[in-house]
Structure 1
Amino acid sequence: MMAAASGTSQRSYSLSYFWYQLRRSPMMLLGLALIAVMCLSALLAPLLAGYAPDAIDLGSRLLPPSAMHLFGTDEVGRDLFSRVLYGGRQSIGVGIFVAVVASAIGAVIGCFSGIIGRTVDTLIMRAMDIVLSVPSLVLTMALAAALGPSLFNAMIAITIVRIPYYVRLARGQTLSIREMAYVQAARTFGAGRRHLVRWHVLRNALPPVIVQMTLDIGNAILMAAALGFIGLGAQQPTAEWGAMIASGRNFLLDQWWYCTFPGVAILITAIGFNLVGDGVRDMLDPKQKVK
């Protein structure tokens, strides 16, 4: 009974602290609001969109924004408002997938590398250094081109490039955590490396990884849009923000709406995730809890 009461009290304290930090961070609230609007718009696209995203109507090509077509139409008469809504599913989905998968793989590798040490640690980190020595966008483009132009291959390429960042971050945390008294005590009692990583190291190394993951969602969306813009990401007729901007760049001077609305969607989403990432960093910073 006492243990249950203690657990309930701890959860209540954590929830209260979470809301307290939210109230102190209006920019994080703004970021959450932006993300909520973009994510709900993408999820409710079938209800909000007045047209199918791939419906072609050559008689309505390149129409300006109006009551019939809120964001105008493209060169084959497709409704841009519908395509922006459906494109959010692709772009935001890529960002979340890349951040979650890259952080999970990188955190596990980094924690084991830091715990094992010696030759294995050296080999892993030198491999990560090789990947990090190449500019991220260049390496992502090379991998996407090697895998073939598609949204899925672009997503895989971005994930591979982002993993080393999490490996280095998790390893740095592990090198500090493994010297703690409770980890040394667990080793004394015969705990294996897998047990140490699972129960002691990984969960204590998570806060900076979570912060980096939150910030990386916006970066992944931007990178996926860049690959789509140069033809290595989503292919027509898939509705994806970067590919839409690529198709509309030839009409930018006369049909400004074609590129503008997908670009604004990218901007709003990236800003939202970056604001949330900054807020999460402040919430998980131990120094903030002292104040």
Structure 2
Amino acid sequence: MSVTLSATRSPRWSDKLAYLAYQIRRSPLTMAGLAITTLVLLCMIFAPWLASHDPNALNLAERLAPPSAEHWFGTDEVGRDIFSRVLFGSQQSVGVGLFVAFASCLIGGLLGCFSGVIGGRFDALIMRLMDIMLSVPSLVLIMALAAALGASLFNAMLAITLVRIPSYVRLARGQALSIRQMGYVKAAQTFGAGRWHMVHWHVARNAMPPLLVQLSLDIGSAILMASALGFIGLGAQQPTAEWGAMVATGRNYILDNWWYSTFPGLAILITATGFNLLGDGVRDLLDPRQQGK
């Protein structure tokens, strides 16, 4: 007599990707966000090939020209092609948003995990510092740091990253405090597992889903913050193409030359909306409370 044994097989990566694609297709808003962000990222990557003109080339004979077949988005006060500058501006604005989100998630996530695992005075010190930073409105603190560091794109990026770190620290610490009470973690401690082993193999991996949700939601807000700093002159400086700075300069000509600030402003609006829609979709996919809804 033969006996057939069946083993439970873990899902393959192809199965997981198929399930992820199915979940995304179920949400029209997530699909819209994915389409927008994909288009924006492609424009950012291929800007040198998509641009019709040199973004910094001056042509005073065509200054403040309206949109036309030659200049799709018109020109600025020194004859530079706005369409090309919007494309190259995506490398600054979107690049800052992506860098800020990933850097603050990595630094804040690790700091929060170690704070929750180590505990004691180290945990108390870290959390008091985070509470102080969170007590000040984010945009006010970002502007203060950017002004103190000096007006430049790098300093703006650094200021936004520093201000976004506390939210990740608190989130990762909360996950670490709950995970370290679990039985398998206590068993690992009994067998002499070190702190780095605990953070890497147990805490960080289990804290990843909520951190990814926060990261996906932060990209859009980071882009808005970077554009705000560029608008008030604390971000990228001339002649670098940056959306916030273009809107700020274009407002001086808004009554007669509406296209100058309109197209960079629309780029900010569409990009931030796309990343926010995608972030909401990622939250719904990774949040267990959303399952089955």
Tell me the TM-score range normalised by the shorter chain: over 0.9
What are the residue-to-residue correspondences of 1:199-278 with 2, within 5 Å? Answer: 199-278=201-280
Residue in structure 1 matched with residue 146 of structure 2 by the alignment: 144
User: CA 1:200–1:256 in structure 2 vs 1: closer, same or farther (change >3 Å)?
Assistant: same
Residue in structure 2 matched with residue 48 of structure 1 by the alignment: 50
Is 1:191 aligned with 2:193? yes
Task: Compute the RMSD of aligned alpha carbons.
Answer: 1.5
What are the residue-to-residue correspondences of 1:40-189 with 2, within 5 Å? Answer: 40-189=42-191
Residue in structure 2 matched with residue 24 of structure 1 by the alignment: 26
1:245, distance to aligned residue in structure 2 (A): 0.6
**Structure 2: runs of 5 or more not aligned:** 1-6
CA displacement, residues 50-92 of structure 1 (integer Å, 9 cap, x when unaligned): 1100010011011111111100100001000000000001111
1:173 is paired with a residue whose SS is helix
User: CA 1:172–1:8 in structure 2 vs 1: closer, same or farther (change >3 Å)?
Assistant: closer
CA distance in structure 1 between the aligned counterparts of 2:95 and 2:196, rounded to whole angstroms? 31
2:29 is paired with a residue whose SS is helix
1:13, distance to aligned residue in structure 2 (A): 2.9
Letter in 1 for 2:28: P
Aligned pair count reads 287
Letter in 1 for 2:270: I
TM norm structure 2 = 0.95
CA distance in structure 2 between the aligned counterparts of 1:183 and 1:254, rounded to whole angstroms? 66
CA distance in structure 1 between the aligned counterparts of 2:218 and 2:287, rounded to whole angstroms? 18
User: Quick one: percent identity of the two aligned structures?
Assistant: 68
CA distance in structure 1 between the aligned counterparts of 2:219 and 2:73, rounded to whole angstroms? 26
Letter in 2 for 1:77: G
CA distance in structure 2 between the aligned counterparts of 1:6 and 1:65, rounded to whole angstroms? 62
Letter in 2 for 1:250: N
1:246 is paired with a residue whose SS is helix
CA distance in structure 2 between the aligned counterparts of 1:279 and 1:78, rounded to whole angstroms? 38
CA displacement, residues 137-162 of structure 1 (integer Å, 9 cap, x when unaligned): 11111111111101111001100110
1:6, distance to aligned residue in structure 2 (A): 7.8
TM norm structure 1 = 0.95
Query: Does the 8 A contact of 2:115 with 2:173 survive in 1?
Result: yes
1:15, distance to aligned residue in structure 2 (A): 1.6
CA distance in structure 1 between the aligned counterparts of 2:8 and 2:128, rounded to whole angstroms? 46
Residue in structure 2 matched with residue 39 of structure 1 by the alignment: 41
CA distance in structure 1 between the aligned counterparts of 2:34 and 2:211, rounded to whole angstroms? 19
Query: Comparing both structures, which one devotes a greater share of its residues to helix?
Result: 1
CA distance in structure 2 between the aligned counterparts of 1:190 and 1:39, rounded to whole angstroms? 46
1:204, distance to aligned residue in structure 2 (A): 0.4
CA displacement, residues 30-62 of structure 1 (integer Å, 9 cap, x when unaligned): 101001111111222222211100010011011
CA displacement, residues 156-192 of structure 1 (integer Å, 9 cap, x when unaligned): 1100110011001111111111111111111111111
Letter in 2 for 1:129: D
CA distance in structure 2 between the aligned counterparts of 1:287 and 1:159, rounded to whole angstroms? 29
CA distance in structure 2 between the aligned counterparts of 1:19 and 1:101, rounded to whole angstroms? 27
CA distance in structure 2 between the aligned counterparts of 1:239 and 1:50, rounded to whole angstroms? 15
1:16, distance to aligned residue in structure 2 (A): 2.3
CA displacement, residues 242-271 of structure 1 (integer Å, 9 cap, x when unaligned): 010111111111111111100100111101
1:9, distance to aligned residue in structure 2 (A): 3.6
1:287, distance to aligned residue in structure 2 (A): 3.3
**Structure 1: runs of 5 or more not aligned:** none
